[in-house]
Chains A and B, each alone.
Chain A
């Protein structure tokens, strides 16, 4: 299995050179970072080049790295999971939009039509904009929702809640009345914590 993955890494380096980052193998998966400028062209070649033939885009998701321990770099990333049925291998492609204030990437809807909803979701939840997307509407959140809820600075309890108001006889929005509560704190231990011989 790993010989196959090394072959994929080698082919990636041969075909794309410095247009992509260094491919890495981790937990039996190949991952590669692509600069936003080359994103669309690289994705198209990954699908069409018979050396890769990634016919399917299985997933595309956003991620917000702003609170990642020890991370420095662009805040957002769009992460695609590609699958090739011909070669039976997978590839993870990470594209980092350069501007943290207004993250923009090119849309891959023309390359894989399935990306339509995935990009709408990444836009809805993370506020990553996809240029050239035919219909970039919100998808999961409520009609008229404000903000991008999966960003790390968005509180888990949200800002507004909804209830039926018997006087006005309709559903109204109001500021949330619940207090956020954390039962188990988030803890990052030092490396090798708890390993034998370290007490």
Chain B
């Protein structure tokens, strides 16, 4: 009898299905995974250490770079931690804007996840559809803060500026004639809220397209049903949160259970899975998008009727407006001190959490009264989920490893920090 040994396979760090730079060392018995050992840290940038050498405000844009597919909620949780330490009140309009952008990001994140997950396990078409919708959402972000990806839009005390009154429009060129441009600009003639409302009206149609493509698709079901099953007890032990926890049948959503901002005033439901497998988690994410769409609609309705300030008027924390700064000596001093020395956060520590699209994200901020954080600890949902890969892959075929990596909604910037 020949000596049969287990085979070790190096998956990544340059594998397209690894969603970044994940190195997965797989020990195989034939085609069955015996052990999966994720090696992380290839994208470790030391964000927490860098934060200790930057002022509180300079640290904020680093948060965008953690989870580079859903940037805004990371800023949100950082701002919440700083605001809690400072004891600053956020104007109500800013809270609605924050909730609205969090939900836009949730849709954006799930679109990317479902599109690329389907791409990983063989359904090429999905990603073309989901990226079409993501483009509209990126246009909204670009119109609001000038940047598509790394917005730095939330600030301690509110948001940087109010929503714009107009959307950028397409212009005629060699490739687009007047008729095409007119059609493209049809939804863009009003304000940003009009464009977003138009999107929320279109979105359920898109969502049903995805359902047609995947939900009853036989190949998709064969690749996802019964793959990576996690029981509710194990999900708790493994520190799961977000869609991963809800997919296992535990009804837990921080937006409902520990509401922050204005979530307690909004009407939405929490989808829960039954079997805790990859397919259930997919269904949970699909339904979450529909619920986010509902939340966005409610926010639009409120924001239309309630103008007001969007950032705190405490100038030790938030900068004065540009006009005031140019006209008043005191405001000029505030502006200068805030952007050179930075704000001083009272000594103390705070652990702020939000329901990030990927799960619970927390920032533990420690201050000793200086203009820089003493320590920032970022808890991102990706770490416990990736740590559970070993358990979820064991006993599955090699090809199922990509299905499992897809379902945990992996972004390495988020895991490595």
B-contacting residues of A (Cβ < 8 Å)?
A: 26-29, 31, 55-59, 61, 63-64, 67-71, 79, 81, 85, 88, 90, 92, 112-114, 116-118, 138-142, 149-150, 156, 182, 184, 186-189, 191, 193-194
Is the CB–CB distance between A117 and B384 below 8 Å?
Answer: yes
A27-B348, A114-B237, A117-B384 in contact; A187/B370 too (CB < 8 A)? yes
Cβ 8 A contact of A150, one of B49, B53, B238, B366: B49
In angstroms, Cα B368 to Cα A64, docked, is 13
Q: Is B379 an interface residue (CB 8 A)?
A: yes
Contacts of A193 on B, CB cut-off 8 Å?
344
- The minimal Cβ–Cβ distance linking B412 to chain A, given in whole angstroms, is 11
B341 at the A/B interface (Cβ < 8 Å)? Answer: yes
What residues on A are CB-neighbors of B236 within 8 Å? 55-56, 85
Establish whether residues A61 and B377, one from each chain, have CB atoms under 8 Å apart when the complex forms. yes
User: Which of B239, B350, B353, B362 is close to A114, meaning CB atoms less than 8 Å apart?
Assistant: B239
Which residues of chain B have C-beta atoms less than 8 A from A59's C-beta?
Answer: 351, 362, 364, 377, 379
Which of chain A's residues have a CB closer than 8 A to the CB of B342? 184
Give residues 358-385 of B contacting A (CB, 8 Å).
360, 362, 364, 366, 368-372, 374-375, 377, 379, 383-384
* Best-buried of B239, B241, B353, B372 by chain A (most CB within 10 Å): B239
Point out the residue from A31, A55, A186, A194 that lies within 8 Å of B372, measured CB to CB. A186
Chain B residue contacts of A182, Cβ below 8 A: 53
B44 at the interface (CB under 8 A from A): yes
A81 to B364, CA, bound (A): 9
CB proximity of A106 to chain B, nearest CB, Å:
18
Q: A61 vs B250: C-alpha distance in the bound complex, in angstroms?
A: 26
B362 touches A69 (CB 8 A): no
Known A56-B236, A141-B44; contact A156-B375, beta-carbon cutoff 8 A: no
Are B377's CB and A58's CB within 8 A?
A: no
Least CB distance from A44 to B in Å reads 13
CA distance A57 to B379 in the complex (A): 11
Query: Which residue in chain A gives the minimum CB-CB distance to B53?
Result: A156
23 A-B contacts (beta carbon < 8 Å)? A26-B348, A27-B348, A58-B353, A58-B362, A59-B364, A61-B379, A63-B377, A67-B374, A68-B368, A69-B347, A71-B368, A81-B379, A85-B250, A112-B239, A113-B239, A114-B387, A140-B44, A149-B49, A150-B48, A150-B49, A156-B49, A156-B50, A156-B53
B32 interface residue per 8 A CB criterion: no
Q: Are B351 and A90 in contact (CB under 8 A)?
A: yes
Interface residues of B (CB under 8 A from A): 40-41, 44, 46, 48-50, 52-55, 58, 84-85, 236-239, 241, 250, 252, 257-258, 316, 340-342, 344, 347-351, 353, 360, 362, 364, 366, 368-372, 374-375, 377, 379, 383-384, 387, 416-417
Q: Which residues of B contact A113 (CB under 8 A)?
A: 237-239
Inter-subunit contact B241/A188 (CB<8 Å): no
Interchain nearest-CB distance for B349 vs A (Å): 7
**Using Cβ atoms and an 8 Å threshold, which residues of chain A touch B366?**
63
Give 20 new A-B contacts, CB below 8 A, not counting A184-B341, A187-B370: A26-B350, A58-B360, A59-B377, A61-B379, A63-B366, A64-B375, A67-B374, A68-B368, A81-B351, A85-B252, A88-B257, A117-B383, A140-B44, A156-B52, A184-B54, A184-B342, A184-B372, A186-B371, A187-B371, A188-B370
Contact B239 A194 (CB under 8 A): no
Q: Find the B residue at minimum CB distance from A29.
A: B351
**Residue pair B41, A56 in contact (C-beta under 8 Å):** no
**B41, A58: Cβ atoms closer than 8 Å:** no
Residues of B within 8 A of A117 (CB): 383-384, 387
Min CB gap A165→B, angstroms: 21
Q: Which residues of A contact B237 (CB under 8 A)?
A: 112-114
Q: Which of B58, B250, B379, B416 has the most CB of A within 10 A?
A: B379
Supposing A29-B351, A59-B379 touch, asked if A141 and B368 sit within 8 A by C-beta, the answer is no
- Give B263 Cβ to nearest chain A Cβ, in Å: 15
Q: Is A69 touching B238 in the complex (CB atoms < 8 A)?
A: no
Report B-chain residues with C-beta under 8 Å of the C-beta of A68.
368, 374
In the complex, what residues of B have CB within 8 A of residue A88's CB?
257-258
- Cβ contact within 8 Å between A141 and B41: yes
**With a CB–CB cut-off of 8 A, which chain B residues contact A71?**
368
CA distance A187 to B368 in the complex (A): 10
CB contacts (< 8 Å) of B351 on chain A: these are 29, 59, 81, 90, 92
